[in-house]
Amino acid sequence: MGDTLEFSDIYQEVKGSWNDGRLRFGRQSVVYKSSKTGKVDSIPAAELSQAQWRRVCLGQGIKLTTSTGHIYKYDGFRDTDFEKISEYFKAHYKVELSEKELCVKGWNWGTTKFSGPLLSFEVNDSPAFEIPLASVSQCATGKNEVTLEFHQNDEAEVSLMEVRFYVPPGDTATTEEGPEPVEVFRDSVLSKADVIQATGDAVCIFKELQCLTPRGRYDIRIYPSFLHLHGKTFDYKIPYTTVLRLFLLPHKDQRQMFFMISLDPPIKQGQTRYHFLILLFSKEEDLSLSLNMTEEEVEKRYGGKLSKNMSGSLYEMVGRVMKALVNRKITVPGNFLGHSGTQCITCSYKASSGLLYPLERGFVYIHKPPVHLRFEEVSCVNFARGTTTTRSFDFEIETKQGTQFTFSSIEREEYGKLFDFVTAKKLSIKNRGFKEGLKGKDDMLEDSDEDQHDAYLERMKEEGKIREEANDSDDSDGESDESFNPGEEEDDIAEEYDSKASASDSSAEGGDSDREKKKRPAKKAKVVKEKKPRKKPKDSGAPKRPMSAYFLWLNASRESIKAEHPGISITEISKRAGEMWRELGKEQKVEWDGKAEEAKKDYEVVMREYRESGGGSSAPSKKERKKKGGKSDEKNKKGASSGGRERERERTTGIDSFKSREFISSEESSSESDRGKGKRKRKGSDEKEEEVASTPPSSDSGSD
């Protein structure tokens, strides 16, 4: 038999709820560690006095009793564990593991026995149920009744509120000599119950301390068994047995200190639960403290941890007193140093800014809401890009229970320090390979999709190449769209109506028009944006374009991927296929590249035959329509635009401009010349007459 026995998934009942953990039997002690809170119960082997093996609701259970009066119960064992545990107890603890049967008759009358912190209700010397007196919050008596009220646990699905016992009255002779049986029962309960009563004087009092959670300023009164927070609105009484851990953490500004107290169960205010009590101190604030006890009492009770008169910083005094009364160690930051030289990282959690402290055994976030994550309950961590900017990143922590905590808006300069810390603590990193490649680079948060296979991008590139080749074959006549530039036409119009007009125009308009021009601001030249070319309409009868090497391989491998991963979705198939394609070697990809090249050649042959047979020529292209129109279209556009600009100019000036016969004749001749050649077939004599009509007359005709 080995030196230790370990059992996992062992449950301990805490105020009506079952908490799982690990139990280890060693030669020196029995140790139980809760998975929920991380709290460790250690029972020295020399103090074990009795051990019982009982059948309970969760299989088999063991009940351990110590010589100091403490009782520990652990459930979740198997029937086959009895023999090896019994032999281990005999060999190392010299204690016999006895079997004890519980009463299941369902009777509601019997006898009560007080054994240490337990009240046992027995029927025929067999225990029917047991009540931990530490769970009792209040005890009230009636004529012949005793009522026990219990602390409530929010995590328990069903809570027991109270239990009433009927206590028969004693004999008359007995009651005259001593107290009533009801009073004896009540005193026995209260002696071990967790009933908080502010009796006696406080050990010390700290006035007007700033508290972040719950928010406000409170007077903290230190009693031997509990802590009393007294504020203007609320009062809280915190037993020292509910304190799990103490933290003393420096603020990032190096001028303040946080003192955090972890509580289980939490303190309550209505529906709000406070799992942490956080106090904020200034380093410059000092205090001289005198305990309300004699020096002999201080030495006897606290064994040199405290002295009657103490002085120092306020946060040091509070920490020293709490450490002595709670009997817990104070956790301080370890060796982690951030980019700014502080022991914390500025970040945001649930839309609130705060500080994240990487400690030696966990992470602590302060303050709204406070979070404490032990490394033991962390499943993995993840470094993610910031959602709004690339100058920051997110740090995600996922617990073994599936809960995820995301700390966002962390400066990217903190990445290297945090990554080294997580690696040193041997925490699992989701994207470890990806981040290690980026470590030490300034562009660690830039887009890194280039090194990943993008099937869609590859397909678009292939289709673009094929489309360009098809366009080159269509443009065999040598013309291009470069001759059509709307911006150049607009530039000509802007020059024609520039602020520097010709002398003839200014003389025709006269002095009044000059004054109007001075009053009217100069028009800005219109800037025409370059239009994007329209996409060519798709030919439905054209042959289908060939697939790339990747898609040929994907079609051949899709069924095998489905067979290896039953029920996989379409998106997961594409993702898995991309990973497999990247893992293929060059020799394996050569085969599919050859098939893709053959498919491309076959496509070119079929496409050539399709064009020779007249395919794809049913609708005239934009270039063909422009070729038919020729340069006359450009003239029409210029004439129409110049005429429209002239009419607009007339409307704005409000003056009826005079048009000479030369202007009218030239305008008519230009419109006639812009018509198609097919409509303008005339004889030679008609052409001569047109030339005579179009020639400008002498200057005398301008006076008509």
pLDDT for the residue 643: 53
Q: Which residues partner with 259 through β-bridges?
A: 248, 279
- pLDDT beyond 70 at 569: yes
Q: Cβ distance 600 to 546 under 8 Å? A: yes
pTM over 0.85: no
- pLDDT beyond 50 at 206: yes
Length of the chain counted residue by residue: 704
pLDDT in tens, 20-69: 899 999 988 999 988 888 888 888 888 888 899 988 877 889 999 888 88
How many Cβ atoms sit within 10 Å of the Cβ of residue 370?
21
Of residues 289 and 510, more confidence is placed in: 289
pLDDT for the residue 134: 81
Q: Cβ distance 401 to 423 under 8 Å? A: no
- Across the range 228-238, mean pLDDT stands at 88
Of residues 238 and 513, more confidence is placed in: 238
User: Average pLDDT over the chain, rounded to whole?
Assistant: 76
- Across the range 528-542, mean pLDDT stands at 63
Side-chain-side CA neighbours of 604 within 13 Å: the count stands at 10
Token look-up 């090249």 returns: 597
Side-chain-side CA neighbours of 655 within 13 Å: the count stands at 15
pLDDT in tens, 381-417: 999 887 666 788 999 999 988 899 999 999 989 999 9
Per cent of the chain over pLDDT 90 is: 21
Judged by phi (left if over 0) then psi (alpha if -120 to 50, else beta), residue 9 lies in left
pLDDT in tens, 421-446: 999 999 998 876 544 444 444 443 44
Burial of 134 (0-12, 13-18, 19+ CB in 10 A): middle
pLDDT for the residue 233: 85
pLDDT for the residue 702: 41
User: Can you tell me the distance from the alpha carbon of 652 to that of 357, in angstroms, rounded to the nearest whole number?
Assistant: 72
User: Can you tell me the distance from the alpha carbon of 52 to that of 99, in angstroms, rounded to the nearest whole number?
Assistant: 6
- Across the range 357-383, mean pLDDT stands at 92
Q: What is the CA radius of gyration of the chain?
A: 46
- pLDDT beyond 60 at 502: no
